[in-house]
């Protein structure tokens, strides 16, 4: 078993149009997504036939109807990109799902490429808006009107792993990891206890422990059982409890530490019970405590801070990476995790160059001190939002980045390349290359299939049930000798 070998993220962005009294988020999202132009993206369908969002990991099917748009709406709302990503309208938000990758570093690269793609779209969309109006996009998780939108993580894991064990060990991990994954937030929402500042943008919106829904009665652990791969072998853990991070370091640590914990669950090495007495209450208590000193009550009667709970997972992880065969990236992630836990125990402000909630808090506190303001000042709430602004010249995170005040873990060159090129070590490479080479003949796409419309013949669907097949090493020679989609399909069948 071991560590998850395939992972990715799905980011829902906040959207508004300044000075538009008739702002319609759905039509604005459609405009935004269609403003991003690749040669063939405007004619390719997203293959909803391959999806089943009503399957529950606990072993049953939830009642309900699967929404399938008509062909015109499908094309208007979906773009499959040559870098292997999906860019689309999800309810009332633009969403960017990065291609499948094999390590946390590449998650950062492709998530950051997604930010740039959305920003390019925004600039193009603005050129089509009436004078005096301006579309703005935010990589955050709340519109301050009671609505929250997600930053979802995905990890491919062994289906033989007990879902009960996954829930048992992930629940306390997810509740407490916000001490380094939180994006920071001024005030509270969703009828939560008032506070000046909290760690997480999302914590106030979680209302139950385990469930399938992602929008109503949000669960800490989502039970969607839609692997987008061989169902007999794999489970895709769909994580909805994270924040939308701006910090490259935080994205990498968030993704890597979770993958390590999942590996430990798969391999059965977590040897202690860290179950919380009330996880839904605890997730808010952790978020509302920037000192990171509040004690949480465990089922066994112990009382630990969120940092101490994380330290227990870390201790197991440090032993795990020595005793087991792990990917090259894992030791570095565990070291970063240890450094962050040490800093949180001393003084969280030491992390003001790498952890979003600390970066933002220190930035706002210095601003308040200069201006003589308190946490209730409207300028402070505006600063909170401005931190997540995707405009490179306006977003406060990007200002700090240009000033060298935040730690980077990827290069601009890597991100620029990922805007147009798929990762080379997963099936995303085959998907992206098919769009580049045979785009006119691609009929429909899903994560685990691609369909070709070849002349008057019936649609030819190529299944991609193994996420690690379809990599450059697997298919480069096949693609080179397939000048057309018809030749590709014939060669695949040979």
pLDDT in the model for residue 492 = 94
Percent of the chain at pLDDT above 70? Answer: 95
pLDDT digits (tens, 9 = 90+) for 170-180: 999 999 999 99
Residue 67 has pLDDT above 90, yes or no: no
Backbone angles phi and psi of 441, in degrees to 5:
-105, 0
Give mean pLDDT, residues 122-142: 97
Give mean pLDDT, residues 208-234: 89
Alpha helices by DSSP H, listed for 202-353, are: 248-266, 279-287, 306-323, 330-346
Evaluate whether the domain defined by 7-38+81-415 bears CATH number 3.40.50: no
What is the distance between the alpha carbons of residues 431 and 470, in angstroms, rounded to a whole number? Answer: 8
pLDDT digits (tens, 9 = 90+) for 385-397: 999 999 999 999 9
Say if CB 287 and CB 198 are below 8 A apart.
Answer: yes
pLDDT in the model for residue 50 = 67
Percent of the chain at pLDDT above 90? Answer: 87
pLDDT in the model for residue 68 = 78
pTM for the structure as a whole: 0.96
Give mean pLDDT, residues 475-493: 96
pLDDT band at 217 (very low <50, low <70, confident <90, very high): confident
Say if CB 50 and CB 192 are below 8 A apart.
Answer: no
Residue 423 has pLDDT above 70, yes or no: yes
Say if CB 201 and CB 140 are below 8 A apart.
Answer: yes
Q: Comparing 429 with 217, which gets the higher pLDDT? A: 429
Residue 41 has pLDDT above 70, yes or no: no
Describe the crossing of helices 472-480 and 485-493 by its angle, rounded to 10 degrees.
Answer: 120
Of 143, 95, 136, 106, residue with least CA distance to 119? 136
**Catalytic (active-site) positions:** 90
pLDDT in the model for residue 403 = 98
Tokens describing residue 21: 């009294």
pLDDT in the model for residue 215 = 67
Q: Comparing 2 with 445, which gets the higher pLDDT? A: 445
Q: Comparing 64 with 233, which gets the higher pLDDT? A: 233
Residue 449 has pLDDT above 90, yes or no: yes
What is the distance between the alpha carbons of residues 211 and 216, in angstroms, rounded to a whole number? Answer: 10
Output the average pLDDT for the chain: 94
Residue 359 has pLDDT above 90, yes or no: yes
Backbone angles phi and psi of 409, in degrees to 5:
-125, -5
pLDDT digits (tens, 9 = 90+) for 70-96: 888 998 899 999 999 999 999 899 999
Give mean pLDDT, residues 237-261: 98
Domain ranges of the chain: 7-38+81-415, 416-493
């Amino acid at each position: 078993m071991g560590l998850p070998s395939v992972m990715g993220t799905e980011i829902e962005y906040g959207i508004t149009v300044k000075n538009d009294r008739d702002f319609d988020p759905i039509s604005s999202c459609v405009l935004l997504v269609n403003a991003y132009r690749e040669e063939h993206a405007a004619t390719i369908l997203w293959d909803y036939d391959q999806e089943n969002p009503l399957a529950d990991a606990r072993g049953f099917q939830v009642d309900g109807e699967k929404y399938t748009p008509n062909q015109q709406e499908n094309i208007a709302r979906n773009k499959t990109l040559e870098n292997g990503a999906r860019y689309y309208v999800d309810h009332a938000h633009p969403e960017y799902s990065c291609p499948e990758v094999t390590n946390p570093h590449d998650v950062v690269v492709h998530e950051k490429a997604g930010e740039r793609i959305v920003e390019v779209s925004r600039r193009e969309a603005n050129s089509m808006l009436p004078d005096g109006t301006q579309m703005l996009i935010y990589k955050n998780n709340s519109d301050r009107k009671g609505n929250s939108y997600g930053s979802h993580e995905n990890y491919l894991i062994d289906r033989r792993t007990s879902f009960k064990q996954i829930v048992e060990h992930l629940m306390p991990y997810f509740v407490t990891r916000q001490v380094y994954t939180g994006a920071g937030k001024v005030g509270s929402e969703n009828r939560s206890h008032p506070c000046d500042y909290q760690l997480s943008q999302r914590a106030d919106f979680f209302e139950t422990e385990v469930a399938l829904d992602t929008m109503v009665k949000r669960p800490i652990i989502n039970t969607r059982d839609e692997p987008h791969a061989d169902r007999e072998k794999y489970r895709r853990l769909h994580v909805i409890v994270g924040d939308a991070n701006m910090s490259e370091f935080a994205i990498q640590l968030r993704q890597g530490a979770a993958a390590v914990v999942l590996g430990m669950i798969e391999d059965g090495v977590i040897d202690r019970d860290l179950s919380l007495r009330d996880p839904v209450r605890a997730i808010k208590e952790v978020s509302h405590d920037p000192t990171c000193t509040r004690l949480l009550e465990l089922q066994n009667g112990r009382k630990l801070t969120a940092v101490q709970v994380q330290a227990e997972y870390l201790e197991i992880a440090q032993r795990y990476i020595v005793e087991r065969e792990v990917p090259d990236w894992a030791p570095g992630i565990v070291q970063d995790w240890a450094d962050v836990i040490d800093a949180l125990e001393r003084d969280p402000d030491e992390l003001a160059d790498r952890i979003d909630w600390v970066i933002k808090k220190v930035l706002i506190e210095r601003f308040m001190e200069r201006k003589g303001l308190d946490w209730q000042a409207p300028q402070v709430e505006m600063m909170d939002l401005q931190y997540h602004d995707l405009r490179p010249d306006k977003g406060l995170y990007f200002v700090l980045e240009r000033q060298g005040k935040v730690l980077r873990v990827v290069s601009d060159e890597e991100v620029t390349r990922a805007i147009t090129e798929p990762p080379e070590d997963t099936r995303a490479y085959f998907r992206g290359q098919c769009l580049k080479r045979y785009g006119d003949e691609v009929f429909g796409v899903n994560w685990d299939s691609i369909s070709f419309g070849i002349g008057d013949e019936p649609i030819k669907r190529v299944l991609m049930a193994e996420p690690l097949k379809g990599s450059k090493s697997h298919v480069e020679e096949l693609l080179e000798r397939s000048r057309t989609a018809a030749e590709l399909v014939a060669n695949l069948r040979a």
